[in-house]
Chains A and B, each alone.
Chain A
Amino acid sequence: MSLLLSYFRPDTSTAAGTLLAPAHWRPVEILFWLLAASLFWLAPSKVLLLNEIAILALFVLSLDLILGYAGIVSLGHGAFFGLGAYVAGLLGKHGFTDPILGLFVAGAAAGLLGFVTSFLLLRGSDLTKLMVTLGVALILRELANKFSNITGGADGLTGVTIGPVLGLFDFDIFGKTAYAYSLTVLFILFYVARRLVNSPYGLLLRAIKGNSLRTGAMGVPTNRRLVQIYTIAAVYAGIAGALLAQTSQFVSLDVLDFHRSADALLILVLGGSGHLWGAVIGSIAFKFMYDYLAAITPQYWQFWLGLVLVLIVLFGRGGILGFVQKARDWLAYRKGSAR
């Protein structure tokens, strides 16, 4: 018991302790995952929505890896999501129905596209990067539209069959298997990403974001690292797309729509970038805001969304998590000055 407590209160009096502290899981993080898992039983009527949130969170998480950690801005991250969705859908349509296999192949395909296109991002300003990523996504969407004999074009890809997960769990119409499946994949990839961002490699990415002139002067092959993380993020996004294709057993051109890339960026700003958790919290907030606002003002919900976004960028740098951090700092300060 005391061992457990000491884990949650890392010793920050030593140099190693302060470095290691962020890697320690906080109780609230563990609570979050337990709660997310328990919703499978507690809110069976909401699992379809929860499945969408889990997929969205994974997609936004992948954007956080490049934007929040490595500082690469992108307006076309949806390209990898869409490619992953089509690859997984096509596999299912052509008899390769194993979902896990689908995830791997979709992730690999998206990763390959990420690797190749990353070289376009090594030079130029943020504006160049925005345009290049946007351009790649537009090209991919047009290709999917053009080759409608393969992708189904505007009608979408139908006849996608996905077998049971691990040969055991069939996808049901209520979305229970879908949620369990997506949440598990999200958790595993979140865990891996969490290890990565707290490792020397993660510190290196933050350093590159902060000052790439200095990392070069430290002996870091900065471009190689950027190519790597862009590829990893593309794999993540491709897997998110595959999850959507598999759990809905359908793929339409919508997966490559510009709004996906834009939403991801918006959600990350909403939740707070460079935290991993910002992607998750932002996705939840976004989906609920969407549901709530769309119900009361179906036509104008984007107005309110836009307003929230403007307010956050102007006054609440750091998004929801930034706000939580500020509130905690303020409480700690009050507690300190009361004494």
Chain B
Amino acid sequence: MNAVLETQNLSKAFGGLVATNDVSFKLPAGARHALIGPNGAGKTTLVNLLTGVLQPTSGRILLKGEDITSLPSYQRVKRGLARTFQINQLFAELTPLQHIVLAISEREGAATGWWRPVGSRSDIVDEAEALLRQLTLTDVRDQRTETIAYGKQRLLEIAVALAAKPAVLLLDEPAAGVPETERHQILDVIAALPAEVTLLLIEHDMQLVFRFAKTISVLVNGGLFVEGPAAEIARDERVKKVYLGEEAVNV
């Protein structure tokens, strides 16, 4: 299978703490892959390495076969790699509409236009409206983001990433902190993404994980513990042990 995203012996140490330990994995095109592991296992660190927020101590990262290890974040996005953040990274004073218009403008190379006002490109506004509608954000479209409900902010976090039309999307606990009843809405949105988009989901809610993932990697203490088809991982006694006292694995 053709890997879109690949790491080779990737490691990251924070002083003496090895947060990512010799991780080599491949994400095939169109994957529905979940990355699980206990708190502090190094999941977010791995995403930060993949997206260029952090530089690895050693190892390589390949996107569509190209070595992107030393590329800055924004150039990885231009090459089709987008992410969402475990902790919302939004613009508190801007509206959801402004978020999306900006993200689309950047994708279209229109974000450096400095003469005509925001909103004069009707194609961009229409696309932004459609995306907001798809994520049920139309009713909060023009409100300052800091004033909208947390669940809606989580959806906006995803919408901003989607606006880049990524080939690979890394979702870091998209449903974290979202009430039980709204979680499935977030998963529905993810499930509705085009099949050719490669997805990596980090999630603690095992119900969501098994509903979404075809394959799963388990990360423990920064290293890959086990990898395999979802059904196999669900039966794996070692994985159950890792999660013992955390959450019951129910499938």
Which residues of A come within 8 Å of B, CB atoms?
A: 12, 15-20, 22-23, 195-196, 198-204, 206-207, 210-211, 213-214, 216-222
Contacts and interface: CB of A to CB of B under 8 A. Distances in A.
B201 to A, nearest CB: 17
Contact of B110 (A20, A200, A219): A200
Contacts of B122: 16
B74 interface: yes
| A-B residue pairs, 9 tightest by C-beta | A19-B119, A219-B77, A23-B117, A210-B91, A201-B114, A216-B73, A214-B89, A20-B119, A199-B114
Contacts, number: 131
Contacts of B110: 200
Contacts of B105: 200, 203-204
A23 B118 contact: yes
B250 interface: no
Given A214-B89, A214-B160, A203 B103 contact: no
Contacts of B89: 211, 213-214, 217
Among A206, A216, A222, max chain B CB count under 10 A is at A216
A222 B74 contact: yes
Given A200-B111, A201-B112, A213-B53, A19 B102 contact: no
Interface string B113-129: 11111111010010011
Interface of B: 51-53, 72-75, 77-78, 82-83, 85, 89-95, 97-98, 101-103, 105-107, 110-120, 122, 125, 128-129, 141-142, 160-161, 163-164
A18 B138 CA distance: 13
A200 B110 CA distance: 7
A3 B208 CA distance: 54
B111 A210 contact: no
Interface SS, A side: helix
B111 A220 contact: yes
Nearest to B97: A15
Given A15-B125, A23-B117, A210-B92, A200 B112 contact: yes
A15 B129 contact: yes
A217 B83 contact: yes
Nearest to B119: A19
Contacts of B103: 218
Contact of B101 (A17, A203, A213, A216): A203
B73 A201 contact: no
B77 A217 contact: yes
A203 B98 contact: yes
Given A199-B115, A203-B94, A18 B77 contact: no
Among A16, A20, A22, A207, max chain B CB count under 10 A is at A16
B107 A219 contact: yes
Nearest to B138: A15
Among A15, A218, A222, max chain B CB count under 10 A is at A218
13 contacts: A12-B142, A18-B119, A198-B117, A199-B116, A200-B101, A202-B114, A204-B106, A210-B92, A213-B89, A214-B89, A216-B72, A217-B51, A218-B160
A320 to B, nearest CB: 19
